[in-house]
Structure 1
Amino acid sequence: MDYREFFSQFKHLSKKRGTGGKIKVYPEDFIVIEEPIPSIFEGRKYAIFLLKKRNWDTMAAVKEIAKRAGISHRDIGFAGTKDRHAVTYQYISVPAEARNRVEQVEIRDVELRFVSYGRFIKLGHLLGNRFRIIVRDVSEDALDRTKEIVRELREKGGFPNYFGYQRFGERRVVNHIIGRLLLQGDFEEAARLFLGAYDGSMEGDEARKNFWETGDVERALEEFPGFLRYERTLLHRYKETGSWKRAFLSLPLPIMRIFIHAYQSYLFNLYLSRRIEEGLPLNEPLVGDIVVQVKGGIPYRDRTYRVTETNIEFVRGKVGKNQAMVSGPLFGFAMRRAKSLPGQLEEGILEEEGLSLETFKKLPKPMAEPGGRRELLLRPIGLTYGYIPEVGMCFRFFLPKGTYATSVLREIMKDH
């Protein structure tokens, strides 16, 4: 199953016919510019560089920079991972004493420019990202259709804030399934899927196919290519311990969390889709809903309050002024639960999946997930668009961190 088939289960909020078209035909069609939090430029212990990359994963680029500069990749900080099939600009921090070595680094399709001194950049140290995106191969009436869809969605309060396909895997759409298996304590089946799932179009698929059919660890260690380093780590650790659980726990924590977060994201998308399907409003709070505060268009997900019979008119006013947004569940052991009708919808999803919030606490300690809330709607800031003859539609907008440009375009293109 590819990501288009996977995403077809999630409902569109817009009823209008989409424009069709293709994104990321060329890396230059998808430009991402990071907006960091200003405090990264405070201090003198680290040198801050602007990293421009083309057709590079963020982590792969960071590791290559570290290798060429003779430092540990763990000493390089960045605020978030960026699309590979794109031209992206983001800030990285390196130890101040490594500035000269990093300035000497030359890598194809990677540019580094020293900006200033500052602090170590951690994941999440950004406000959001600016995008410039070209959609090619669109129909002749793409501009008119876009106008209709944007008008319709503005009336409905925004775009559905789905987690994008990047969260689940573009070709091997299995991250969320692995997460579910880990929650269920089925480390063996999780390992089988992580190691053996293949789509037939990627390097290493023959080795994955063989493992899927035989489960032969020795053969897999011979056949798995070196670039599948996490898969090889898992295989080596299993060979040493005979335990798939211990093998998983040998992986870096961010890698393990990818799977749990993907499953949480799947459940959030499911909740959002069900709410659309059942005709429940996304831009109007219901009694029992949890709303998140909004300031300057940026949601503050750690500042929430529950909608009750007594405060509902007050909350409606806040939502109407874009000072609050209705949220959905990121299931976890410390998540603030909705009540009444929204709460019943949340509970129904948990029951279908055979879960309780406590399940997220029973994971091995490093992987235990507290959960939280996430706004149901996405409001691109400064959205502009136009038609370029013989090229296609061009979109520009800013999105807060943790949201997906592909989810905005999905609603316009209706391609999946």
Structure 2
Amino acid sequence: MTISPEPESLPHDPWPVAHARFRPEGRFRLEAEDFRVTEILPFEAEGYGHHFLLRIRKVGVNTDRVAQDLARLAGCRARDVGYAGLKDRKAVAVQHFSVPAAGVEGDPGRWSGESWMVERVDRARKKLKRGALEGNAFRLRLHLSEEDAEVAAARFEELLAAGVPNYFGPQRFGREGGNLVGARQLFGGTARPNRGLRGIYLSAARSYLFNRVAATRVVDGTWDRLREGEYAVFPDVNSGFVVSDPEREAPRVASGDLHPSGPLPGLDGAGPKGEAAELEGRILAEETALVEGIRDQKVEAHRRALRVLPRDGLAEADSRGLWIAFRLPAGSFATSVVRELVRPITS
């Protein structure tokens, strides 16, 4: 069985959950303070160099807006402002940016804007590049009754050990799947987006194809175990290998040292063999326009873990529900954890 939500009107979150028993109803992200995220960089600033590395706290403002403000304050072009990744507007986010030091006058530690402020300044040798993240630390409030908070807290402890499907979150696809619609128009020649939108559309198309494979593996119960011919990947490392003996590697999967993987389609790249390859091939064959469109854009293929294990987990109840804290590797979505804990109240 393969999972194929209607692509032209993608539901807000159509993918099946892995832990399908009772989930209490709850509300999430009623206000920015319910979603707190802190970037974790994989390096320490050198303390010298031609760039300022800024740690910024922002509330209710998106990454691009802060970058524009920083370009104005630093006297540089917007494209010279570096950041590792985008952070949601409706959140309290601690995020890092870099600006060239040459045009800066005064102390950048005193900079601030509407809904953001600099918390720390370091000197660095290089511009901060997209994707230069180790991960993100989250602290989230789930609005639940006292009884349901106890249920969700117990379930959260189970997820820390079992992991959750590593779906791309709804924000990747835009409102009602608009980014995926844009990708289809790009590939069909009916739209000519600018460079920024082109990247967003390509990312949405690849994420959708990955989620379709992941959803099928969730339904058949193999999202957290190896199939014959599986291309297994190491956590936090963009490398892996084709599994010749799933039973022999099963203990490494159980310990979290290996994960089954799904495709981020493109040109070339490693991939599964045998049974695992046949399954992916059947799913991707249903979306040939997307697969070929991605390849025509000269995007390189990659693999992504089907499972993610939250780390450093902590649950704490208060008068309004349940706070959960955890850490995820770069590229994984907090919503993948939340959706396994609660069913959202939509009205």
The answer, yes or no, to whether TM exceeds 0.5 is yes
CA separation of 1:126/1:324 partners in 2, compared to 1, >3 Å: closer, same or farther? same
How far apart are 1:27 and its partner, in Å?
1.2
Supply the distance in 2 between the matched residues of 1:24 and 1:73 (Cα, whole angstroms). 30
Contact 1:14 1:152 in 2 (8 A): no
Q: SS state of the match for residue 88, structure 1?
A: strand
How far apart are 1:277 and its partner, in Å?
1.4
The amino acid of 2:330's aligned partner reads: K
Which of 222, 238, 243 is matched with 1:307 structurally? 243
Supply the distance in 2 between the matched residues of 1:120 and 1:98 (Cα, whole angstroms). 14
Contact 1:40 1:125 in 2 (8 A): no
How far apart are 1:39 and its partner, in Å?
4.8
Determine whether 1:347 maps to 2:284: no
Q: How does 1:2-401 map to 2 (within 5 A)?
A: 6-41=11-46, 43-101=48-106, 102-103=108-109, 105-118=111-124, 119-136=126-143, 138-150=144-156, 152-153=158-159, 157-169=162-174, 171-183=175-187, 186-188=188-190, 191=191, 247-248=192-193, 251-252=194-195, 254-279=196-221, 281-294=222-235, 299-301=236-238, 303-308=239-244, 311-355=245-289, 359-363=293-297, 368-389=298-319, 391-401=320-330
Q: Which residue of 2 aligns with 1:237?
A: none
Identity %: 28
TM-score, scaled to structure 2:
0.89
Q: Which residue of 1 aligns with 2:3?
A: none
Q: Deviations over 1:231-279 (max 9, x none)?
A: xxxxxxxxxxxxxxxx43xx13x43111011011111111111112123
Deviates more, 1:98-107 or 1:56-65: 98-107
Q: Which residue of 2 aligns with 1:202?
A: none
RMSD of aligned alpha carbons: 2.5
The amino acid of 2:141's aligned partner reads: I
Deviates more, 1:327-336 or 1:78-87: 327-336
Q: SS state of the match for residue 335, structure 1?
A: coil
Q: Deviations over 1:12-65 (max 9, x none)?
A: 101222222222212111111111121543641111111111111101111122
Q: Which residue of 2 aligns with 1:239?
A: none
CA separation of 1:9/1:90 partners in 2, compared to 1, >3 Å: closer, same or farther? closer
How far apart are 1:154 and its partner, in Å?
5.3
The amino acid of 1:290's aligned partner reads: Y
Deviates more, 1:144-153 or 1:66-75: 144-153
How far apart are 1:96 and its partner, in Å?
1.8
CA separation of 1:41/1:414 partners in 2, compared to 1, >3 Å: closer, same or farther? farther
Contact 1:47 1:95 in 2 (8 A): yes
The amino acid of 2:119's aligned partner reads: R
Unaligned segments of structure 2, at least 5 residues = 1-5
How far apart are 1:144 and its partner, in Å?
2.9
Larger-gyration structure (1/2): 1
CA separation of 1:328/1:71 partners in 2, compared to 1, >3 Å: closer, same or farther? same
Contact 1:142 1:393 in 2 (8 A): no
How far apart are 1:92 and its partner, in Å?
1.1
Higher relative contact order (CA 8 A, sep 6+): 2
Contact 1:51 1:90 in 2 (8 A): yes
Unaligned segments of structure 1, at least 5 residues = 192-246
Q: Deviations over 1:170-194 (max 9, x none)?
A: x3421122223323xx222xx3xxx
How far apart are 1:71 and its partner, in Å?
2.0
Determine which structure has the larger helix proportion and give its number.
1
Supply the distance in 1 between the matched residues of 2:110 and 2:76 (Cα, whole angstroms). 13
Contact 1:333 1:358 in 2 (8 A): no
TM-score, scaled to structure 1:
0.75
Paired residues in the alignment total 338
The amino acid of 1:291's aligned partner reads: A
How far apart are 1:81 and its partner, in Å?
0.8
Deviates more, 1:160-169 or 1:329-338: 329-338
Contact 1:288 1:340 in 2 (8 A): yes
Contact 1:27 1:85 in 2 (8 A): yes
Supply the distance in 2 between the matched residues of 1:151 and 1:74 (Cα, whole angstroms). 42
Contact 2:13 2:170 in 1 (8 A): no
The amino acid of 2:299's aligned partner reads: E
How far apart are 1:70 and its partner, in Å?
2.6
CA separation of 1:147/1:135 partners in 2, compared to 1, >3 Å: closer, same or farther? closer
